[in-house]
């Protein structure tokens, strides 16, 4: 079974909030320096640091959460129940590697991978279990 699913990319619009705080912090530090107000300048520095760290943390976590949720919804629409994903993702030359998963399809537990086809398209491929003697 080789189905193709479309996973929508993450939209970074939530990063606007730390961006606005970042700009306000720069303005506060510039005004604090020009007006020789040490507290205002230091609050600007602190605001800049907090906004930059918040933007990085949001970018890291929100995009990962979005991607995981998109994968679960796509597999659920294909009839896979309770999909879980492996942690091994490799990034080589700007491309995403295969994403292993396990799920229940029908009454049996199956394993498979999501292979990137380019853009938003991913191919769902089941992996056959090798029987041991």
Asked, for residue 132, whether it belongs to a domain, the answer is no
Asked, for residue 84, whether it belongs to a domain, the answer is yes
Under 8 Å between Cβ of 78 and 124 = yes
The span from the CA of 132 to the CA of 111, in Å, is 16
- Look at 31-45, 69-83, 96-110 and tell me which has the smallest mean pLDDT: 96-110
- Look at 2-11, 23-32, 71-80 and tell me which has the smallest mean pLDDT: 2-11
What SS3 state is found at 40? Answer: helix
pLDDT class of 2 with cuts at 50, 70, 90: confident
Rounded to the nearest 10 degrees, how much is the dihedral formed by the CA atoms of 23, 27, 29, 31? 180
- Express each pLDDT in 39-52 by its tens digit: 999 999 999 999 99
Asked, for residue 118, whether it belongs to a domain, the answer is yes
Under 8 Å between Cβ of 86 and 100 = yes
Total of domains in the chain: 1
Asked, for residue 25, whether it belongs to a domain, the answer is yes
The pLDDT of residue 119: 80
Domain extent for 24: 2-127
Strand-strand pairing, 91-92 and 95-96 = antiparallel
Asked, for residue 86, whether it belongs to a domain, the answer is yes
């Amino acid at each position: 079974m080789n189905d193709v699913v479309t996973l929508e990319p993450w939209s970074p619009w939530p990063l606007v909030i730390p961006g606005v705080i970042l700009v306000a912090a720069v303005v506060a530090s510039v005004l604090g320096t020009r007006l020789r107000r040490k507290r205002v300048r230091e609050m600007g520095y602190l605001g800049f640091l907090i906004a930059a760290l918040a933007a990085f943390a949001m970018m890291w976590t929100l995009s990962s959460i979005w991607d995981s949720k998109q994968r679960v919804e796509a597999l659920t629409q294909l009839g896979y129940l309770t999909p879980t994903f492996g942690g091994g993702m490799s990034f080589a030359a700007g491309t995403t590697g295969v994403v292993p998963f396990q799920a229940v399809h029908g009454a049996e537990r199956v394993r498979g991978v999501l292979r990137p086809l380019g853009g938003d398209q991913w191919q769902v491929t089941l992996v056959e279990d090798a029987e041991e003697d």
